[in-house]
Amino acid sequence: QAVVTQEPSLTVSPGGTVTLTCGSSTGAVTSGHYPYWFQQKPGQAPRTLIYDTSNKHSWTPARFSGSLLGGKAALTLSGAQPEDEADYYCLLNYSGARVFGGGTKLTVL
């Protein structure tokens, strides 16, 4: 089974910009992996921010955006807010089977 890699932790200043990435052990991440990004805060179920690389749900703040960058899926947060401090997970689709990344703990400090 493929391994999906994310930065274990990142720190961003309030109002700053940060990019989280999601790589695959099988090679470049493409739109065919239908990348998802989820946000999870302590004690809560995950919440989907981005689906199919760059699409947003109605509740996704405009400061979050998804893309493909250098062979990886990327989640960019522009103008970080204190409430964005959370764990972020990507999910890739491998012809039906899904694999989550290990998650990135984002600190806003």
The span from the CA of 106 to the CA of 84, in Å, is 8
100 touches other proteins (CB under 8 A) = yes
- Considering the complex, state which of residue 85 and residue 87 has its C-beta at the smaller distance from other proteins: 87
Helix, strand, coil percentages in the chain from 3-state DSSP, rounded to 5 = 5, 55, 40
Number of residues engaging other proteins in binding (CB under 8 A): 23
Neighbours of 68 (CB within 10 A): 17
13 touches other proteins (CB under 8 A) = no
With CB under 8 A as the contact rule, the residue among 55, 63, 81, 109 that binds other proteins is: 55
Compute the Cα dihedral for 5, 24, 12, 45 and give only its sign: negative
Which residues make up the interface to other proteins (CB under 8 A)? 1, 36, 38, 40, 45-48, 51-52, 55, 57, 87, 89, 91, 96-103
